[in-house]
Amino acid sequence: MRWTLKALPDKEKVKQLANELQISNTLASILCQRNIETFKQAKSFFRPSLKDIHNPFLMKDMDIAVARIETAIANNERILVYGDYDVDGTTAVSLVASYLKTLTLNIATYIPDRYAEGYGVSYAGIDFAEDNDFSLIIALDCGIKAIEKVAYATEKNIDFIICDHHKPGDEIPKAVAVLNAKRTDCNYPFDELCGCGVGFKLIQALGTKRNQTIDYFIPYLDLVATAIAADIVPMNGENRVLAYYGLEVINKKPRNGIKAIIHQVNKTTLTITDVVFTIAPRINAAGRMKHGNYAVELLTEMDFDTAVSFAADIEIFNADRKDLDKKITDQALIQIIDNDEETRFSTVVYQEDWHKGVIGIVASRLIEKYYRPTLVFTKSGNKLAASARSVKGFDVYNALHACEEFIEQFGGHKYAAGLTLLPENYENFKNKFEEVVAKTIDKKLLTPEIAIDAEIELSEITPKFFRIIQQMEPFGPLNMHPVFKSSCVRDNGYGKQVGADKTHLKLNVFQGDNKQTFGAIGFNLGNKISHVHNDFDIAYTLDENNWNGNKNIQLMLKDLK
């Protein structure tokens, strides 16, 4: 691990903010690092307000999209709500469809089959719309590159409204309306909404005419918060407000589908981290193992007992998914070793029988072992399909762009993308991708980084200090859980390896002459037990350990030296 101490902000700004908020300089410094430098900015950060949600009509084409939907409702046209099979797509479809059903009965949903149709808008989906007399398709979390598909639909007199957040190409599809804040000609104030977030702006705009204020839409925010968490979009600006209120809905009055998942896993109060690791994988498991329709049915189910039954099925899909991703990861690791590819700058592996639904997870698992840009390929019809994942600081989307001569189709983000190519181009692509990564990656990015917000004494960790850290939630990109470093700490002598295979580390640490100890847990740090016999440095976040009704501040170790 590469420990990097973040740049210290301006001392005067820190001092002033500490005085205004009556907090420690350390906390004020962490806020300033996040561009929260005034009392007013701190107030809107710590007390997110729905008043800070932007007017949806600031988004280009929103007025056209709303007018087209209103026409469809007035003329009793059939509307197909279409979305991708991942969490962002299925939550977006559930959100828009459930709202539109309050306005018209002529609504149906469509999730493409991951295996038969692949990612995004499909010809099969458009044919389905034609066969069933749909004259309007609202595409969510996909469509920004579907130029030929939209043209195909236009020939069949089917209109498209695209709600997407992926990077547009040079050409925008000729749809009736294209809602995407990343368009260069769109002046919407916040361009990091997820697909479900764009869908939320659409229903918010439709509600304006009906005098439905933002408060009317609060019950929909459990879906938006789930998508924000799962899609790992920046947790600042509008996303922070939507996630904050969405988390409240999840914990107080979630829709039946989310309530059924929580019931299944027996959680009480969920943080955004719980949403990422508990709710999102289960929603995703439907699209990975069976079909994304299961997720939409779960998330739109009005009867709780039926939702519980759906959630139980999805629990089985999720267990199957875990078994499968472990098996494929093991096979991929053997392939890397057998082919003597451990010293490359990239990982590219392929096996034709790998399950397409889990190759993205496998790519992430491989990065845990070999920290470098990674692609995992499998056979999909007569082509090869891959999921790409990257390391912090390296844009895998741009790297794929540099290899496009060998690619049929690709799309995605800086850190995650998908692509297809012809089997005969696999070796050429693999060599070209390695060449591009080797030439363009800063070699230090191949060592995982721990970005440290502040170096502190353990004595600074008081209940008030911890309470203020907790109020910085929800955490996510651009508002990560603060990481601290403390130097020359000692274990009280009872440090031990824990877990079935001794992979974790449990310590009680103190510093200097101050004998106050803090419990510390380091997941997957069991092999560092030898470091704790003398003084050592720790990098960690703060958490609450709740055991037998007793609550204590606990250090979550990220690394120790």
CB half-sphere exposure, 356, CA atoms < 13 A? 23
The span from the CA of 464 to the CA of 40, in Å, is 21
In this prediction, residue 46 carries a pLDDT of 95
Give φ, ψ of 402 to 5 degrees. -70, -15
Write the pLDDT tens digit of every residue in 57-108: 999 999 999 999 999 999 999 999 999 989 999 999 999 999 999 999 999 9
CA 218 to chain centre: 21
The span from the CA of 114 to the CA of 122, in Å, is 11
User: What are the structural domain ranges in the chain?
Assistant: 50-218, 339-446, 453-560
How many CB atoms are located within 10 Å of the residue 108 CB? Answer: 15
Which residue bears the tokens 């031990």?
Answer: 496
In this prediction, residue 490 carries a pLDDT of 94
Give φ, ψ of 267 to 5 degrees. -100, 155
Write the pLDDT tens digit of every residue in 524-546: 999 999 889 889 999 999 999 88
By 3-state DSSP, what share of the chain in percent is helix, strand and coil, each rounded to 5?
45, 20, 35
Mean pLDDT lowest among 119-123, 211-215, 265-269: 265-269
Query: What is the pTM (predicted TM-score) of this model?
Result: 0.90
Residue 129 has pLDDT above 80, yes or no: yes
CB half-sphere exposure, 275, CA atoms < 13 A? 30
CATH architecture of residue range(s) 50-218: Alpha-Beta Complex (3.90)
CA 72, 76, 77, 81 dihedral sign is positive
In this prediction, residue 498 carries a pLDDT of 93
Identify the band that residue 287 occupies on the pLDDT scale cut at 50, 70 and 90: confident
Alpha helices in 186-220 (DSSP H): 195-208
The span from the CA of 81 to the CA of 94, in Å, is 9
Phi-psi region of 266 (alpha: psi -120 to 50; beta: other; left: phi over 0): left
In this prediction, residue 545 carries a pLDDT of 87
Beta bridge partners of 416: 389
CB 516 within 8 A of CB 510: yes
The span from the CA of 301 to the CA of 388, in Å, is 33
In this prediction, residue 74 carries a pLDDT of 97
Radius of gyration of the chain (CA): 25
Two structure tokens written together for 117: 């149709």
Q: What percent of the chain has pLDDT over 90?
A: 84
The span from the CA of 415 to the CA of 406, in Å, is 20
The span from the CA of 519 to the CA of 506, in Å, is 8
The span from the CA of 12 to the CA of 392, in Å, is 31
In this prediction, residue 207 carries a pLDDT of 97
In this prediction, residue 64 carries a pLDDT of 98
In this prediction, residue 514 carries a pLDDT of 82
Q: What percent of the chain has pLDDT over 70?
A: 100
Beta bridge partners of 137: 80, 160
The residue-averaged pLDDT of 3-17 equals 95
The span from the CA of 430 to the CA of 435, in Å, is 9
End-to-end CA distance of the chain: 10
Q: CA of 532: how far to CAs of 112, 241, 493, 511, in Å? A: 52, 42, 9, 13
Residue 266 has pLDDT above 80, yes or no: no
Beta bridge partners of 389: 374, 416
Element (H, E) at 5: strand 2-5
Q: Is the peptide bond before 234 cis (omega within 30 degrees of 0)?
A: no
Identify the band that residue 164 occupies on the pLDDT scale cut at 50, 70 and 90: very high
In this prediction, residue 121 carries a pLDDT of 95
Q: Give the β-pairing of 416-421 and 383-389.
A: antiparallel
Beta bridge partners of 557: 540
What is the 8-class DSSP label of residue 350? E
CB 318 within 8 A of CB 285: yes
Q: Which residues does 254 contact at the CB level (< 8 Å), separation at least 6?
A: 222, 262
Residue type, 15: K
Mean pLDDT of the chain: 94
The span from the CA of 230 to the CA of 224, in Å, is 10
Specify the CATH number for 339-446; select among 3.30.750.210, 3.20.190.10, 3.10.310.30, 3.30.70.100: 3.10.310.30
- Please state which CATH number belongs to domain 453-560: 2.40.50.460
Write the pLDDT tens digit of every residue in 208-258: 999 999 999 999 999 999 999 998 899 999 999 999 999 999 999 999 999
In this prediction, residue 412 carries a pLDDT of 79
Residue type, 360: G
Q: Which among 107, 90, 86 has a CA at the least distance from the CA of 206? A: 107
